[in-house]
């Protein structure tokens, strides 16, 4: 892009931001990235002068309004994501914070506002039904409810105030730059020797490589239709298939201890109850149920057709993730020949 438009990005130092900021720079954007603690992310310095760091968070409405001025685009990717926590914690960041960013985008009259939501606003996929953008939403935990509330506000702002909003719903993030959720459950735990699977590994999961989400955001900026929702997900596969691929690529044993689902739910109930006293997030929180004990047959056909979304294979994504883990000193990949 010859004029190097400026884009304001929230969540720039999160798991997605680790892939998104370099992708935006490579595409020719100048980036203003919002982060609460830039000193905790030394990799930002490697991105060069194309990134301007704004220290703060989305709950500071005045700061956000000032930061968005002069920007042509906004990508709102900041969110509190956890499987455990109180409702007001999620609402403060994911709803009130998102509303601040939307308001600032309207005042600045940006050309496109890309809102990063999540496919888990569905809550519990209906049996044998493909999870496309028309699937009913019935969020089951505070995080899911807050994300649905925020994307509803974005679409309402489009209808009532002309905010040029595009909503993206990625699947379960994995890839370099993060050690939570899918990365931990399917990759890091296996590298550390915690190798279990539930009910024979037959449930269907919905991994989405963070680099693919970054490319999906670029597609939304260029081609996304305002007022529309797009799923962004890689190939869906069973837990057993995912475990086999991770084991092969990491050069570790394919063995997984099979545990019945009821026993994991019981453990999660006890652990979650204990956390009310310790105030430490349980290793297996009860809210993991809707993510793990369901069949997530997610369709990204709309994004493929309209945004040019073309996710890499899960095997390739796992290779990139394992390389990053090895750089962090966690696990060693087998040498490929």
CA distance 103 to 221: 19
Nearest of 214, 151, 168 to residue 12 by alpha carbon: 214
Contact by Cβ (8 Å): 110, 73: yes
Q: Is 143 a catalytic residue?
A: yes
Between the two ends of the chain, the Cα-to-Cα distance in Å is 40
Task: Give the DSSP per-residue string, 68-104.
Answer: HTT-SEEEE------SS--HHHHHIIIIIIHHHHHHH
Nearest of 68, 67, 29 to residue 47 by alpha carbon: 29
Contact by Cβ (8 Å): 322, 188: no
CA distance 125 to 297: 8
Task: Give the DSSP per-residue string, 232-285.
Answer: E----EEHHHHHHHHHHHHT-----EEE-HHHHHHHHHHHHHHHHHH-S--SS-
CA distance 296 to 171: 9
Among residues 73, 113, 143, 291, which one is catalytic?
A: 143
Nearest of 165, 168, 160, 167 to residue 226 by alpha carbon: 165
Instruction: Give me 293's structure tokens.
Output: 């004990």
* Residue position matching structure tokens 């390739």: 316
Residues with a known catalytic role: 143
């Amino acid at each position: 892009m010859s004029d190097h438009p400026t884009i304001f990005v929230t969540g720039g130092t999160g798991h997605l931001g680790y892939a998104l900021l370099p992708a935006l720079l490579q595409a020719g954007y100048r980036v203003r990235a919002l982060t609460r603690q830039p000193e905790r992310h030394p990799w930002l310095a490697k991105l060069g002068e194309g990134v301007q760091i704004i220290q703060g968070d989305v709950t500071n409405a005045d700061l956000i309004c000032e930061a968005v001025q002069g920007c042509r685009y906004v990508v709102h990717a900041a969110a509190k994501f956890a499987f455990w926590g109180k409702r007001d914690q999620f609402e403060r960041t994911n709803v009130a914070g998102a509303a601040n960013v939307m308001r600032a985008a309207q005042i600045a009259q940006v050309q496109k506002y890309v809102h990063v939501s999540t496919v888990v606003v569905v809550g519990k996929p209906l049996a044998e039904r493909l999870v496309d953008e028309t699937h009913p939403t019935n969020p089951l935990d505070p995080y899911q409810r807050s994300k649905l509330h925020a994307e509803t506000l974005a679409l309402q702002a489009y209808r009532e105030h002309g905010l040029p909003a595009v909503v993206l719903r990625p699947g379960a993030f994995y890839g370099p730059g993060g050690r939570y959720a899918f990365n931990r459950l399917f990759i890091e735990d296996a590298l550390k020797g915690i190798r279990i699977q539930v009910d024979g590994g037959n449930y269907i999961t919905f991994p989405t490589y963070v680099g693919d989400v970054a490319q999906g955001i670029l597609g939304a900026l260029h081609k996304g239709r305002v007022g529309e929702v797009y799923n962004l997900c890689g190939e869906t596969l069973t837990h057993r298939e995912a475990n086999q691929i991770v084991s092969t690529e990491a050069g570790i044993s394919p063995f997984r201890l099979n545990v019945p689902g009821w026993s994991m739910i019981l453990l999660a109930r006890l652990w979650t109850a204990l956390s009310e006293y310790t105030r430490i997030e349980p290793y297996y929180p009860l809210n993991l149920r809707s993510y793990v004990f369901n069949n997530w047959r997610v369709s990204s056909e709309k994004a493929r057709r309209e945004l040019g979304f073309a996710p890499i294979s899960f095997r390739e994504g796992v290779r990139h993730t394992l390389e990053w883990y090895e750089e962090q000193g966690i696990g060693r990949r087998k040498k490929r020949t």
